[in-house]
Structure formats: C-alpha cells, structure tokens
Amino acid sequence: MEVPSAARAVKAAKSTAASLGLRADDAVVLNDSNILTLRLLPCDVLARVVPAAHQSAQFEIGIARRLAESGSPVAALDPRVEPRAHARDGFDITLWTYYAPVSAREMPPAEYADALARLHAGMRSIDLPAPHFTDRVEEAQQILADREVSPELAEPDRKILADTLRDLRGAIAGRGEDQLLHGEPHPGNLLATAQGPLFIDFETCCRGPVEFDLAHAPDEVADHYPGVDRELVRQCRILMLAMVTTWRWDRDDRLPDGRRLAEEWMGRIRSALDR
C-alpha cells in the first residue's frame, strides 16, 4: 500500500482490535502489498487489512472456516473474536491466529506435497462459488490489452506475454479435473508451525486442475504429489509465470522490486518457451 494508505490501515487495524477487547499498542508489518498483514501486540493477533473495494475479506473467511471444519491444514481465525470482516475507515480487517515460525529451513518437498494434497481433499468436500482460473488469466490479458494500464511494457515483451497467455489458456482449459484450488499456494503462503504446515491467504481461490496449484510450488513438490500430470504442470508453470510477470507491469502495482522481478521472469519465460 502507499504510505498514507498504509498508515491509515495500521490505525484501522489497531482500533478494530481495541474495540473488540484486544490490546493493540504496537503493529509489526509482516507483509505489505495489496493486503497489509500485521502482527498486533501485545494481544498477539495477525490482522489482514484490505481496501473494502476489493470485496474479498468475507469470501476468504468463508473458505477458511469451511476448510478448518473439514480438518484441512489451514491457519485459524482468532478464536477470541467473531469470525467476520470488520469494516473501518474504508478497509476490511480480519483477525487470525498468529503462528510463531518454528523453522527457517525450506519445507521438504514431500511434506509440502502432502499438505497440498490434504488441502485439495478438503476443498473437494466443500461447495462454494469461486472464479475459474481462466478468469484470472483474462484479468492479466486485459492489462496487456490496455497500454494505458501497462505503459512501460516494451511491445516485444507485450506480444510474448499476450501470445503465451492466449495459447496456454486454451491448451490447459478442459484438461484435468476442475476443483476448488488455493490459487497461489507458493512457499510464502505455507507456514511451518508447531501444528504442522498450514496454508494462509485464500483470497485467490479459484477452480481448475490441481496442476495449476502445483505450478506455484517448488518444482520438486510435484514429484511427491499423487497422480499428477507433469506436462500439465509444466504448462501451468509457464502460464503462471506469464500472469505474475504481467501483473508487475500494471502501473498501479506496488510489489517491492516488482519491475526488476518482471525482467528476470521475462527471461525465464523466453527460456521455457525455447525449450
């Protein structure tokens, strides 16, 4: 978030916690992007603050609650307050359990794959409306189609990204069995906790083949996931890379170091397509 908005978001989170009987004198920023994630102290609660216009907070809570009831490996909402999105000063604030990290090492691929498979099993047990992964591809395509939204993107790169999104969207759609997915189960959204691996951040949930989720995980994870189509994972990985590269060229993107990452990822896309 931009600095003035972030300051307002922190104040809104602290005020919300205080109004619910949770003392929040300090706020430690854990992640700052389209969603501001804070650790509030001394109540030790994790607050996620999103602009109300996103309309994603209640959707995320609904999915997280249903998955927790099914025994899926997901982070829990804070049990001290009502499980809902709290509106304040143009933001929606949700309050979650804070989990202290238990290990600095990377999650072993087999453990990662097992957690993701259990998450997918839980997702198959619930029936909730969610966008299809192709809807997210279309959002990226719209960024490329509007040069006012992505003015700094070089035209040769625009064409490569547009062709990749179009071709792989068509190649992947209809393959595999569609089900509810996390949408972005990358290592940043998987916590190593004393309770075991737990997934967070469900605002990106969508429908599609499990290979689309596996494309966000380290390469070795797919080796331990049962029944996976490796060629479909490869295609989904290139598609995912083209999507996130496109988002970095959105004029409103606020990911730190986003443009440098976009250049790096563009090189990876060219190499993957050459192969």
Which pLDDT value is given to residue 194?
92
- Give me the long-range contacts of 185-192 (CB less than 8 A, separation at least 24): 185/116, 185/119, 185/213, 185/216, 185/217, 186/216, 186/217, 187/106, 187/107, 187/112, 187/217, 187/218, 188/31, 190/107, 190/112, 190/115, 191/75, 191/99, 191/101, 192/101, 192/102, 192/103, 192/105, 192/107
Confidence (pTM) = 0.91
Which pLDDT value is given to residue 168?
96
Which pLDDT value is given to residue 243?
97
Which pLDDT value is given to residue 2?
62
Q: Which positions of the chain have pLDDT values less than 50? A: none
Q: pLDDT digit string (tens) for 79-117? A: 999 999 999 999 999 999 999 988 767 899 999 999 999
Which pLDDT value is given to residue 4?
62
